[in-house]
Structure 1
Amino acid sequence: MKLLVIADPLVKFKIYKDSTYAMLVEASRRGYTLYTCEADSLRAKDGVVEVQAQSFALSDTQEYGQWFISGAPQTLALRDVDAVVMRKDPPFDQQYLYNTHLLTLAEAQGARVFNPGRTLREYNEKLAILKHPEFIAPTLVTQQEDDLRAFLAEHGDIILKPLDGMGGMGIFRVRSDDPNVGSIIETLTANGSQTIMAQRYLPAIKEGDKRILLIDGKPVDWCLARIPKAGETRGNLAAGGTGVARPLTERDRAIAEALGPRLAAEGLLLVGLDVIGDKVTEINVTSPTCFREITAQSGIDVAALFIDALERQLG
């Protein structure tokens, strides 16, 4: 089995927590031939989508930057490998959008891409929740300051966030008496020229922002509750949150089992639902994480579940 992973440089992987690394270890254990490339190497030459890739194998050390042995660079058409796994982190900028179009073209040529280019385009990780309004808190998407101020006046305590970030970047909690509200809105909307999202603040964030993983439409039995550090609103691990694995609650499972089949039907093999309390706040499809934390604390081999699902898709 030939597996191409499109990701950031392997030498930069923080393997103690990297979900892509966990996938690669499991694929290697099963005897896959592994290739990697960066997203900026995607190109279409004479209509064929290809990359400049490197084969690699796992080494005997797990030290930072030394966990793999690279082969020689080679040109590789995406259709000539068994599976392509897209693991490029956000932001979802214009370049990322172009990459999704190239992935879609590659799929038309016979490549098997996970998650597919079309779903990466259509499931913006913030806006995708609007497809499932029955599971979300009051939410507003706009670039207009008057709209945002009216939403703040209605709810009194809200979260403002950009639509293209990750790891908690650019997220603000704003109360109605906040003297900086005007400046925050101007900054996030780039003076009314950029659309952002506002959501009612959910006090349940103190108990954790739960990452629920869906693999081929089915939830992993444990989630990772990312608990904000003292004095912080954001639970993201990148923002200093603490990850605590927990079994899914009855409500968690109900949400996951309702959304899972819908998302799988769209072609999404791997999804990370972010749930605060009983509300879905994001649907992550670009490079969902938390494999290693859930595995370490629950004993569930999430990477094995993912590779099992990938093999079922490939038949």
Structure 2
Amino acid sequence: MTRTLGVVMDPIEKINPKKDTTLVLLLAAQQQGWQLMYMEQSWLAIENGEATASMAPLEVYDDPESWFKLDERRQEPLASLDAIIMRKDPPFDSEYIYTTYILEAAERLGTLVVNKPQSLRDCNEKVFATLFPECSPPLLVSRDPKQLKAFRQLHDDVVYKPLDGMGGTAVFRVRPDDPNLSVIIEMLTQHGQQTIMAQKFIPDISNGDKRILMVDGEPIPYCLARIPAKGELRGNLAAGGSGVVRPLSDRDRWIAAQIGPVLKDKGILFAGLDVIGDYLTEINITSPTCAREINREQDTDIGGKLMDAIAKRLS
């Protein structure tokens, strides 16, 4: 029996097919015989209590010049789908939250949503990491300027960043002699009105910000170390970093072992751990990336593993 997989994503014609992780997942699903249905965030609705969407049958191709074909859209209940993968990129704003409500309505009728809508709402990617203090560097989540300044005084070299940022945006390193401490805190907290995170600076960032992909609580055995460009703090590929595929270290595997059971318990089948040196810094669950880069160098079949995990949950 053919199963149907829906995908909620950014406009497919605008993705970069050479590196897009969502395309990797869809190619794997199609290879395993899934029928694909494509949706954009604005196509979802709740009508008389029923979650519906204007959805289009989708075919995908591993071709950087022509990677998809869409058939005519039709209005269907979301519950007609066996599973849905939510791959809409941040920002995590009010519209993102409303989308999780719609997906949750389908989930209540038996459709498997990956990742679980409640967990998408509950698990802020930076605050979620604070559940694992044994894995994390010294950190502070606060909007109190006095607390944030005291943290810098205690740890000398620190990083400040917003809780809702992505791609390394608005990340600041503050050294002991930096005269911009006050203005950075004022800007990020909007004069004490917005909560941010402070972390002790980890010098190992020069060796890369490692993205470890987790499928159903288990780590892929290779990670992508994102190396900062010369003169840069951030290793994010979106900020100009370069990626190097590496095997997981013993410490990486230990960190993954602490987090994996919690991910499974929360219905988070696909996640990306960000690890610098020996420390967990973030847990990405909204739209983890880097599968294409890792698959390209190692026979990891990340998309196939995720589809196997989804099929296991359905059966």
- Shorter chain as denominator, the TM-score bin is over 0.9
The residue that corresponds to 2:19 in the other structure is 17
Task: Please give the alpha-carbon distance, in whole angstroms, between the structure 2 residues aligned to 1:127 and 1:290.
Answer: 22
Task: Please give the alpha-carbon distance, in whole angstroms, between the structure 1 residues aligned to 2:63 and 2:202.
Answer: 43
The residue that corresponds to 2:32 in the other structure is 30
Deviations 1:30-65 (A, max 9, x none): 2221111112222111001111111121358431xx
Task: Please give the alpha-carbon distance, in whole angstroms, between the structure 2 residues aligned to 1:130 and 1:72.
Answer: 45
48-57 vs 193-202, greater mean Cα deviation: 48-57
Deviations 1:44-93 (A, max 9, x none): 11001111111121358431xx3211111111211101110000111211
Deviation at residue 101 of structure 1 after TM alignment: 2.0
Does the Cα contact within 8 Å between 2:4 and 2:83 map onto a contact in 1?
yes
Task: Please give the alpha-carbon distance, in whole angstroms, between the structure 2 residues aligned to 1:183 and 1:28.
Answer: 51
Task: Please give the alpha-carbon distance, in whole angstroms, between the structure 1 residues aligned to 2:103 and 2:151.
Answer: 38
Question: How does 1:36-185 map onto structure 2 within 5 Å?
Answer: 36-58=38-60, 61-63=63-65, 66-185=66-185
Distance 1:61 1:301, change over 3 A: closer
The residue that corresponds to 1:267 in the other structure is 267
The residue that corresponds to 1:304 in the other structure is 304
1:236 corresponds to 2:198: no
Deviation at residue 277 of structure 1 after TM alignment: 0.9
4+ residue stretches of structure 1 with deviation over 6 A? none
Report the residue type matching 2:91 in the other structure.
Answer: P
Task: Please give the alpha-carbon distance, in whole angstroms, between the structure 1 residues aligned to 2:80 and 2:244.
Answer: 40
Report the residue type matching 1:258 in the other structure.
Answer: Q
The residue that corresponds to 1:280 in the other structure is 280
TM-score using structure 1 length? 0.96
User: SS of 1:152's equivalent?
Assistant: helix
Task: Please give the alpha-carbon distance, in whole angstroms, between the structure 1 residues aligned to 2:139 and 2:77.
Answer: 42
Does the Cα contact within 8 Å between 2:159 and 2:198 map onto a contact in 1?
yes
Deviation at residue 258 of structure 1 after TM alignment: 2.0
The residue that corresponds to 2:290 in the other structure is 290
- Percent identity, please: 47
Deviation at residue 128 of structure 1 after TM alignment: 0.1
Paired residues in the alignment total: 313
Task: Please give the alpha-carbon distance, in whole angstroms, between the structure 2 residues aligned to 1:76 and 1:139.
Answer: 46
The residue that corresponds to 2:5 in the other structure is 3
Does the Cα contact within 8 Å between 1:158 and 1:198 map onto a contact in 2?
yes
The residue that corresponds to 1:245 in the other structure is 245
Task: Please give the alpha-carbon distance, in whole angstroms, between the structure 2 residues aligned to 1:302 and 1:220.
Answer: 7
Task: Please give the alpha-carbon distance, in whole angstroms, between the structure 2 residues aligned to 1:274 and 1:58.
Answer: 29
Does the Cα contact within 8 Å between 2:17 and 2:63 map onto a contact in 1?
no
Distance 1:60 1:21, change over 3 A: closer
Question: How does 1:167-206 map onto structure 2 within 5 Å?
Answer: 167-206=167-206
Task: Please give the alpha-carbon distance, in whole angstroms, between the structure 1 residues aligned to 2:151 and 2:285.
Answer: 28
Task: Please give the alpha-carbon distance, in whole angstroms, between the structure 1 residues aligned to 2:231 and 2:20.
Answer: 27
User: SS of 2:173's equivalent?
Assistant: strand
Does the Cα contact within 8 Å between 1:143 and 1:194 map onto a contact in 2?
yes
Deviation at residue 17 of structure 1 after TM alignment: 0.4
Deviation at residue 176 of structure 1 after TM alignment: 2.4
- Mind listing any 5+ residue stretches in structure 1 that lack a counterpart? none
Does the Cα contact within 8 Å between 2:27 and 2:62 map onto a contact in 1?
no
Task: Please give the alpha-carbon distance, in whole angstroms, between the structure 1 residues aligned to 2:63 and 2:257.
Answer: 39
